[in-house]
Amino acid sequence: MKLFAHLLMAAALAAPVVSFASDAAPAKAAKLDLAAGEAKYTAMCASCHGADGNSGSPAYPKLAGQHPEYLNKQLQEFKSGKRANAIMSGFAATLSDDDMRNIAHWASAQKAKPGFAKDKELVALGERIYRGGIADRQVAACAGCHSPNGAGIPSQYPRLSGQHADYTITQLTSFRDGVRKNSAQMTGVAAKLNDREIKAVSDYIAGLR
């Protein structure tokens, strides 16, 4: 019996050590590389979004100064198909997670240029909706999530101030019509807005600063 016990103990001591996932140190995220982000942005994004992230075309959004978490999320969702856009999905498909993070943080670090409202007749309506919502239709004020000056809330809600009105109109209409489906909250808000209200609040946002 003693010999058997000694043999068991020896076998236990000789057994290999098994490492479980719970014991492993958490994987560290790759270090940001803004130079790589700039290079990738210049090669793939600048022709539409501007060399410094300030798009000159109302069809393409300004990216400068946008929260990096939001930009990264959109790129991920273009790649996965959660946000449908044939052009952006094609670009995003070629990007790694590190590429997306680097691009997002580089664009975020660029200075956003202010925009301007164009329609004086509608801008007052846009301001009322942005700051106070539409009570009888239970439309929440945009300022509640995107802040009074349109700066947004990092990691939660995107910056809107200075964005091209045409681009914002397109996005709100896409949310309302079920074309853009990657934010249930925005779909719910846009569903209650008519074309005139969408145009008004988009024009007001363009001049926010």
The region of weakest confidence among 22-26, 65-69, 76-80, 157-161 is 22-26
Rounded CA-CA distance 101/69 in Å is 8
Q: Pick from 32, 33, 104: which is nearest to 65 by CA?
A: 104
Cβ-in-10-Å burial (0-12, 13-18, 19+) of 203 comes to buried
Confidence tier at 29 by pLDDT (50, 70, 90): low
Please state the rounded mean pLDDT for residues 51-58.
97
pLDDT of residue 14: 43
SS (H, E, C) 106-131: HHHCCCCCCCCCCCHHHHHHHHHHHH
Q: CA 167, 171, 172, 173: dihedral to nearest 10 degrees?
A: 100
Domain 34-108 fold = Cytochrome Bc1 Complex; Chain D, domain 2 (1.10.760)
pLDDT of residue 30: 76
- In sequence order, which residues have a C-beta less than 8 Å from that of residue 187 and are 6 or more positions away? 175, 176, 178, 180, 181
Residue 7 has pLDDT above 60, yes or no: no
Q: Are the C-beta atoms of 149 and 208 separated by less than 8 Å?
A: yes
Q: Which CATH superfamily is domain 120-206 in?
A: Cytochrome c-like domain (1.10.760.10)
Cα gap 117→65, rounded to integer Å: 19
The tens digit of pLDDT for each residue in 131-164 reads 999 999 999 999 999 999 999 999 899 999 999 9
Residue 179 CA: distances (Å) to CA of 76, 172, 190: 18, 10, 12
Q: DSSP 3-state assignment of 7?
A: helix
Q: What is the average pLDDT score of the chain?
A: 90
pLDDT at 127 over 70: yes
Residue 123 structure tokens: 């801008």
Residue 22 has pLDDT above 80, yes or no: no
> Where do you find CATH 1.10.760.10 in the chain?
34-108, 120-206
